[in-house]
């Protein structure tokens, strides 16, 4: 065996041992997420890999071609080992066996690799140290990209060793190595960092860091959850329980030919529901321009919003919402405000009397608007302050609420220029929605939406929110939220 051949073989053996340690930590992380890992799990997993290495070491006469094929298979397996564990989660009762099988395969190939070169007893000690180093590195760093880089390095070492083995008429090994290296490189460029996965119980299928927020999409049993800055915004399992109450009542309370404006609504779901009506024009003014680009072009979003943002009736305006409203006097029949909760003073502006007055001026004489208003039970004072602020902007109001499975109790407030409060409520009670393609809302649901029971506290106990007196932000923060 030449010096170069031996160096490549020793290097690959060391790398495989370190990689084995990272895989133990990966699978422990899987147990921690779904099962709850104990110290015994560490002992069992390390024991399985050690036993498998011993079994592999007993196969002293395994053919080199077979060993190389198994080495490449395990290297590629390690790149997707975490995903394989997730693949069975929620779909099989034997999901917990997958980590054991993966680690057994890794240990077995590690044992086989010991037989490809002549090693002394000190190498067993070195391999053990590298195995522990891999466990500790992965345990503290949680960087799943590392495995992809290790795989690529290992395959390149195999490529070098196989190139040197051509003289021994094993050229097929070289041919086998090249496409596997290419596949590993491609996968490395599309892998999801474990730093994001560690935040969620379900598998992260998409992750993107924008200028203003982190977008993550997780999947479980064919349903998707969408997170902005680590907070669940909506889920494919029940997004219609939010979108239908927000859109269809106000659209039905308006005339048949409608010019509509949406403030926010970057995910495109509100637009999808609006376009089920007789709409002449739909203007959208997003708060987050990067997010609406995701809503228009990302397959996870477009699968849900049915490409609504690409409809010919839709026009997206990349401008400031206050400035846009100021330039649109008596322009719209319906305005829908789907902006984030007032978590800070900047978002608080979209819940102020001044903002609602701009909406009032932008609506035609019989115009109507609706805003999402958070939870009427978890942030009661904020919800009531939003309604009181809309009243202060000369609207007659009608609050709505609905139970959304993945979000909890949520609320909206309708504001009408033409109808008084009693007329607005009586007209809303008669809405039927029979001609619309809806999943939930009907006349019976409408009765539930407008029913609150006894008021939790009088509306006089809260103040009007304004740019000079921003109270909703503090009301919201003092709610009984449990994140």
In 3-state terms, what secondary structure has residue 462? coil
Residues whose CB falls within 8 Å of the CB of residue 419, separated by 6 or more in sequence, listed in order? 253, 396, 427
Block means of pLDDT (10 residues each) for the chain, 483 residues, are 67 77 73 62 78 76 69 72 64 63 81 68 73 71 59 71 57 60 57 61 81 84 89 94 98 87 97 96 95 93 96 95 92 96 90 97 96 92 95 97 93 96 96 94 96 82 92 84 44
| Residue 209, phi then psi, degrees to nearest 5 | -100, 115
The sign of the CA dihedral 287, 288, 292, 295 is negative
Residue 394 in tokens: 């000369």
User: What distance in Å separates the CA atoms of residue 65 and residue 70, rounded to the nearest whole number?
Assistant: 9
| DSSP H or E segment with residue 325 | helix 321-326
CB atoms inside a 10 Å sphere around CB 291: 23
Token pair 């006469």 in the structure block, residue: 61
| DSSP H or E segment with residue 358 | helix 353-362
Check if the beta carbon of residue 325 is closer than 8 Å to that of residue 361.
Answer: yes
In 3-state terms, what secondary structure has residue 372? strand
User: What distance in Å separates the CA atoms of residue 324 and residue 369, rounded to the nearest whole number?
Assistant: 16
Residue 262: C-alpha distances to residues 188, 315, 316, 382 (Å): 39, 10, 10, 22
Q: Which of 265, 244, 389, 412 is nearest to 338 (CA)?
A: 265
User: What distance in Å separates the CA atoms of residue 140 and residue 22, rounded to the nearest whole number?
Assistant: 11
Number of H-type helices and E-type strands within the chain: 20, 11
Q: Which architecture, in CATH terms, is 238-477?
A: 3-Layer(aba) Sandwich (3.40)
62-84 pLDDT, tens digit per residue, is: 666 677 777 777 777 776 666 66
Q: Which of 159, 152, 150, 162 is nearest to 64 (CA)?
A: 162
In 3-state terms, what secondary structure has residue 89? coil
Tell me, what's the pLDDT at 167? 53
Tell me, what's the pLDDT at 193? 45
Annotated domain spans of the chain? 3-196, 203-234, 238-477
Tell me, what's the pLDDT at 454? 83
Tell me, what's the pLDDT at 426? 96
Residue 39: C-alpha distances to residues 28, 43, 102, 306, 342 (Å): 10, 7, 19, 47, 43
Tell me, what's the pLDDT at 355? 97
CB atoms inside a 10 Å sphere around CB 337: 26
Strand partners for 234:
226
Tell me, what's the pLDDT at 482? 45
Helix pair 145-164, 171-190: axis angle to 10 deg: 170
Residues whose CB falls within 8 Å of the CB of residue 64, separated by 6 or more in sequence, listed in order? 116, 165, 170, 173
Check if the beta carbon of residue 32 is closer than 8 Å to that of residue 142.
Answer: no
Residue 153 in tokens: 């390095």
Token pair 């506290």 in the structure block, residue: 457
Q: Give the angle 327-329-334 at the CA atoms, nearest 5°.
A: 110
Tell me, what's the pLDDT at 464? 96
Check if the beta carbon of residue 438 is closer than 8 Å to that of residue 244.
Answer: yes
Q: Which residues of 416-443 are buried (b: 16+ CB within 10 A; e: fewer)?
A: bbebeeeebbeebeebebeebebeebee
User: What distance in Å separates the CA atoms of residue 219 and residue 288, rounded to the nearest whole number?
Assistant: 24
């Amino acid at each position: 065996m030449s010096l170069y051949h031996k160096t490549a073989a020793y290097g690959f053996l060391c790398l495989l041992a370190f990689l084995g340690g990272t895989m133990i930590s990966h699978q422990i992380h899987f147990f921690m997420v779904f099962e709850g890992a104990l110290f015994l799990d560490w002992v069992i997993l390390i024991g399985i890999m050690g036993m498998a290495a011993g079994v592999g070491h007993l196969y002293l006469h395994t053919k080199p071609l077979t060993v190389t094929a198994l080495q490449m298979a395990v290297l590629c397996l390690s790149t997707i080992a975490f995903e394989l564990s997730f693949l069975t989660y929620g779909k099989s009762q034997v999901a917990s066996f997958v980590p054991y099988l993966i680690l057994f395969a890794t240990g077995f190939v590690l044992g086989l690799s010991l037989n490809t070169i002549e090693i002394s007893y000190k190498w067993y000690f070195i391999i053990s140290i590298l195995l522990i180093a891999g466990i500790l590195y992965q345990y503290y760093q949680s960087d799943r990209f590392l495995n992809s880089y290790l795989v690529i390095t290992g395959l390149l070492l195999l490529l070098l060793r196989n190139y040197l083995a051509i003289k021994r008429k094993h050229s097929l090994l070289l041919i086998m190595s090249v496409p596997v290296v290419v596949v590993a490189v491609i996968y490395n460029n599309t892998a999801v960092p474990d730093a994001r996965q560690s935040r969620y119980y379900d598998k992260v299928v998409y992750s993107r860091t924008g200028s203003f927020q982190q977008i993550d999409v997780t999947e479980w049993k064919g349903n998707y959850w969408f997170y902005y800055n680590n907070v669940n915004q909506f889920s494919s399992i029940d997004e219609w329980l939010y979108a239908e109450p927000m859109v269809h009542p106000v659209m039905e309370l308006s005339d048949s030919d409608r010019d509509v404006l949406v403030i926010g609504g970057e995910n495109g779901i509100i637009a999808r529901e609006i376009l089920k009506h007789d709409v002449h024009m739909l203007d959208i003014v997003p708060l987050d321009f990067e997010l609406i680009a995701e809503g228009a072009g990302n397959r996870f979003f477009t699968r849900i919003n049915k490409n609504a943002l690409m409809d010919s009736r839709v026009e997206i305006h990349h401008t400031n919402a206050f400035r846009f409203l100021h330039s649109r006097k008596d322009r719209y029949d319906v305005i829908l405000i789907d902006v984030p909760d007032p978590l800070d003073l900047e978002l608080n502006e979209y819940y102020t009397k001044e903002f609602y007055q701009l909406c009032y001026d932008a609506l035609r004489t019989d115009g109507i608007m609706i805003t999402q208003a958070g939870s009427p039970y978890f942030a009661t004072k904020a919800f009531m302050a939003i309604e009181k602020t809309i009243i202060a902007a000369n609207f007659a109001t009608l609050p709505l609420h609905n139970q959304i499975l993945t979000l909890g109790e949520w609320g909206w407030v309708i504001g009408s220029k033409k109808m008084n409060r009693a007329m607005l409520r009586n007209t809303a009670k008669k809405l039927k929605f029979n001609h619309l393609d809806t999943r939930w809302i009907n006349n019976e649901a409408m009765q539930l939406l407008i029913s609150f029971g006894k008021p939790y506290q009088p509306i006089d106990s809260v103040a009007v929110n304004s740019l000079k007196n921003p109270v909703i932000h503090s009301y919201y923060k003092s709610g009984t939220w449990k994140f």
